[in-house]
Amino acid sequence: MVTLRESWPSRVSWAEVRAAQPTVFRQAALGALLCIPAAVCTVVWLALTFEWPRPIALPGWIAWAHGFLIVIALFASILLWMWGLIMVSMPADTRRGLAFELFAKHEGMGYMRMGFPPARLGVFFAEKLPGPRDPARRRLPVGAARPASLFRSTFVLWRGRDASDPELAIGIASYTGGKNDPKGPRHGFRYLSLRLPRALPHLIIDARGNGSLRTLLPGTQRLSLEGDFDRYFTIYVPEGYERDALELLTPDVMACLIDYGSRWDIEVIDDRLQLASSRVTARSDAAESTALVYFAELVGAELAHQAASYSDPRASRPRAQVAAQGRRLRRRSTAWTTAAFVGVIGAMLAFPHVLGWLLDR
């Protein structure tokens, strides 16, 4: 761990930023200039809408367009502020990317500022809620395309032969789905994705410090383990796979999780180990990225060793497959929550009418 932390560049100079991107400071200066008309448009919008800092008296020939001018000033200020602030932040963004790039070169890893979208797999990446006939409970046919990803990835460190499907990927995921698309527990998070030797039953290890997954998974799938593990994590396994989870989560694996992963949520799904961290700021890049690489090397090796010898007797090919009932955890149904919400709203709307009817009697 100490060696990895020493591999992270202690400081990236602005001279290195200029050498990597010669035009980045010119673009930042242009962004700063865009902030001037953005401020003017903002003041005009405030004056037209709230008459602050002072009202604007429009000539009679254009007074009819007062509402239209408010909309124009609002949208112009939003666009100018966005473009200006994005361009102003480009030197810092380039500097952040250079730190990742230098670390990747030192560790023999690849780096991409904009990575390939992470696969829509598991709870973290908003995989569709599986039903009895959903393809998630069956093995996808060879060559079948997975559903389109709902996340984009940035500042990606990767290791493997193919950057689009790496053995190991560490990056920052941001939700890009629409309002009607499935949602994950987080819209933005730092993630790790590690390939395992074979497919395993679906396991979720929820860090008790954040409790971000307990609202998504029913308590009937919780598994209690011995020792202090339950103080740090809540484990969810498919019903009937409790002994399989104990076989995979050996004391060595549990000790590694407590020592190095107690603030992270972890998911084992198909042949992937996935991890989610809420620390996504530039200030946490060095600590989190090096810790995730170390975690992948240490815990990944332990879990991979257990996976290599795992066998599921319920499957048609026990040494290579997982039976349908073990491939996905059940999610908590939202039907009762929705029904209760609709009932409360209905009662609130009906109360005045009922009260009026009672008083008129």
Name every residue whose Cβ is closer than 8 Å to that of residue 263 and which is 6 or more positions away in sequence. Answer: 207, 209, 210, 277
> How far apart are the C-alpha atoms of 302 and 256, rounded to whole Å?
9
- Tens-digit pLDDT string for the chain (361 aa): 778 888 999 899 999 999 999 999 999 999 999 999 999 999 999 999 998 989 888 888 888 899 999 999 999 999 999 999 999 999 999 999 999 999 999 999 999 999 999 999 999 999 986 555 444 444 555 455 678 899 999 999 999 999 999 999 999 999 999 888 888 888 999 999 999 999 999 999 998 877 668 788 888 899 988 778 888 899 999 999 999 998 888 888 888 888 877 889 999 999 999 999 999 999 999 999 999 999 998 887 888 888 888 999 999 999 989 999 999 998 876 555 666 667 778 777 777 777 777 777 6
Distance CA 20, CA 14 (A): 10
> Going by C-beta distance under 8 Å and a sequence separation of 6 or more, which residues neighbour residue 62?
69
Q: Residue 200: which residues within 8 A CB-CB, separation 6 or more?
A: 248, 268, 270, 271, 307, 310, 322
Q: How far apart are CA 330 and CA 160, in angstroms?
A: 32
- 3-state helix vs strand vs coil in the chain, percent to 5: 45, 15, 35
What the block records as the tokens of 303 is 């879990």
Residue 73: CA count within 13 A, CB half-sphere: 17
Full-model pTM? 0.85
Joined together, the tokens standing for residue 175 give: 């939700």
Residue at 1: amino acid letter:
M
User: Distance between CA atoms of 270 and 199, rounded to whole angstroms?
Assistant: 4
Position 116 scores a pLDDT of 94
What whole-number distance in Å separates Cα of residue 220 and Cα of residue 239?
8
Q: Which long-range contacts (CB under 8 A, 24 or more apart) does 173-178 make?
A: 173/118, 173/124, 173/125, 175/126, 175/150, 175/151, 176/150, 176/151, 176/152, 177/126, 177/150, 177/151
* Beta carbons within 8 Å of 157's beta carbon, 6+ residues apart: 100, 103, 104, 109, 110, 111, 168, 169, 170, 171, 289, 293
> Locate tokens 């989610």: which residue?
276
Task: Give CA 355 to chain center in angstroms.
Answer: 47
Q: SS3 for 35?
A: helix
Q: Which pLDDT does position 3 carry in this prediction?
A: 84
